[in-house]
Homo-oligomer: A and B are copies of this chain.
Amino acid sequence: MVESSEPARRPAEDPAAADPVYRDAVIDLLGVLSYGEISAFERLADDSKLAPTMQDKVALATMAAAELGKVDSLHGRIADLGGDPYAAMAPFRVAIDEFHRHTAPSDWLEGLVKAFVGDGLANDFYREIAAFLDPITREIVVASLDDDGGHAAFVVERVRQVIAVDPRLSGRLALWGRRLMGEALTQAQRIAADRDSLTALLTGGVDRPGLDLAALGRMFTRLTERHADRMSELGLDS
């Protein structure tokens, strides 16, 4: 089979479609990723109502719209692999909805920190997984993570401004960051326990290399470090 550098639209040319176990795992991954974007849209659109100014509202709403804009290509890849995008998302709705239910911001600042920290954490995690994907899927996943740095810069600026004026806020927001990380890990574990196929993407299979326990540990260390970097970018302890 000749591998093309162009995204293949016919399953016959697509190595991911040839291995049913891998194919199902990829459809799972694209399902959780795209439902994550849809629910991020909903949360950010809602949280934008807490904005103190019209400028702030538009900035967060624009982040919301950007999340939704990523869904199409993920759904397209699911369909190319013979899956149904909406069926693929269904198994992950509870975990992701629970994450948002447990991390509903109580004010505009918490919403901002959540937008920045939550999005960053998810991006880091999916970028780690991308290393184990076939080239076509990897390209689509990585493109969906491409963060428009401008929006993140807006959050960093706003949060730092507020903390400069009222440094006492930094304690509360640092705790909030820890809670976001904790909830994300809780729900990620829940998904990992429920969906063996997804876990197998990371840990490998009979004829597919993967991470051993030590490597998995190092991956989590990297994710935690990058989370700490992001918190300190906001001027917050992690």
B-contacting residues of A (Cβ < 8 Å)?
38, 41-42, 45-46, 48-49, 53-55, 57-58, 61-62, 64-65, 68-69, 71, 86, 89
Contact = CB atoms under 8 A, between A and B. Distances in A.
Q: Give 9 closest A-B pairs by Cβ, nearest first.
A: A65-B65, A45-B45, A65-B68, A54-B86, A61-B68, A41-B61, A55-B86, A38-B58, A65-B69
Contacts of A48: 42
| Residue among A46, A58, A68, A69 with most chain B CB within 10 A | A58
A55 B48 CA distance: 23
A207 B135 CA distance: 62
B86 A64 contact: no
26 contacts: A38-B54, A38-B57, A38-B58, A38-B61, A41-B45, A41-B61, A41-B65, A42-B45, A42-B48, A42-B49, A45-B45, A45-B46, A45-B61, A45-B64, A53-B86, A54-B86, A54-B89, A55-B86, A58-B68, A58-B71, A61-B68, A64-B65, A64-B68, A65-B65, A65-B68, A65-B69
A62 B42 CA distance: 11
Given A41-B61, A64-B68, 5 more contacts: A38-B54, A41-B45, A42-B45, A45-B61, A54-B89
